[in-house]
């Protein structure tokens, strides 16, 4: 069986954002621990299935081997991410917006509060935005009272920084 060859595009091998909160780091370490614990069981399954016949027509063996490769790849990715992590510790200095801060903005007469974190932890529905997002990037470095302009996909938007904590 031949595996399809995909052309690389701009999202191939995109490095993950190294900036994480301590809670996210603990979550990644736990995920790594679970994967490391499951690897011997899957390796034993591969070994058992390899003994049951011809490799080329042993679908169970092929599937188990694929699962083992996936687990090994994910373990390597997590180990690399953990090795290069930069912990986000919000600064006590709230004179300007920085990574880790909660920022309340006023936009079109409505107030919204966002926490600015790394790309790996974004959840706009919960008010957590990335420092790489248009609004997050625009807010970094501004002070309370500043009017901030940023471009969304369709228009230019203005907002005012109300509070930084």
Mean pLDDT of 112-122: 93
Distance CA 136, CA 148 (A): 11
22-55 pLDDT, tens digit per residue, is: 999 999 999 999 999 999 999 999 999 888 777 6
pTM, two decimals, is: 0.79
Distance CA 142, CA 107 (A): 15
DSSP letter string, 115-165: EEE-GGG-BGGGTEEETTSHHHHHHTT--TT-EEEEE-SSSEEEEEEEEE-
- Do 104 and 111 touch, CB atoms closer than 8 A? yes
Tell me what pLDDT residue 58 has: 79
**Domain spans of the chain?**
19-87, 102-164
pLDDT bin (cut points 50, 70, 90) of residue 10 is: low
Query: How far does Cα 107 stand from its chain's mean position?
Result: 27
Say if residue 132's pLDDT is above 80.
yes
- State whether CATH 3.10.50.30 applies to domain 102-164: yes
Fold entry, domain 19-87: Helix Hairpins (1.10.287)
Say if residue 1's pLDDT is above 60.
no
Give the contacts of 19 (CB within 8 A, at least 6 positions apart). 85, 86, 88, 99, 117, 118, 119, 120, 131
Q: Per mean pLDDT, which range of 7-21, 56-70, 86-100, 149-163 is the poorest?
A: 7-21
pLDDT bin (cut points 50, 70, 90) of residue 4 is: low
- Do 18 and 85 touch, CB atoms closer than 8 A? yes
52-78 pLDDT, tens digit per residue, is: 777 677 788 889 999 999 999 999 999
Instruction: Please report, for residues 101, 118, 123, 136, 164, the alpha-carbon distance to residue 127 in angstroms, rounded to integers and kept in the order given.
Output: 12, 13, 6, 11, 14
């Amino acid at each position: 069986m031949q595996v399809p060859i995909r052309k690389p595009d701009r999202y191939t091998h995109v490095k993950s954002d190294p900036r994480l909160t301590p809670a996210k780091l603990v979550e990644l370490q736990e995920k790594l621990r679970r994967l490391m614990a499951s690897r011997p069981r899957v390796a034993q399954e591969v070994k058992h299935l390899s003994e049951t016949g011809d490799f080329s027509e042993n679908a169970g063996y092929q599937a188990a081997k694929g699962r083992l490769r996936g687990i090994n790849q994910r373990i390597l990715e997590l180990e690399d991410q953990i090795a290069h992590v930069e912990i986000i510790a919000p600064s006590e200095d709230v004179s300007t917006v920085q990574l880790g801060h909660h920022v309340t903005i006023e936009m079109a007469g409505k107030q919204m509060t966002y926490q600015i974190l790394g790309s790996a932890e974004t959840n706009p529905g919960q008010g957590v935005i990335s420092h790489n997002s248009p609004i997050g990037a625009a807010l970094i470095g501004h002070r309370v009272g500043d009017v901030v302009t940023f471009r969304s996909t369709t228009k230019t938007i203005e907002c005012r920084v109300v509070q930084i904590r």
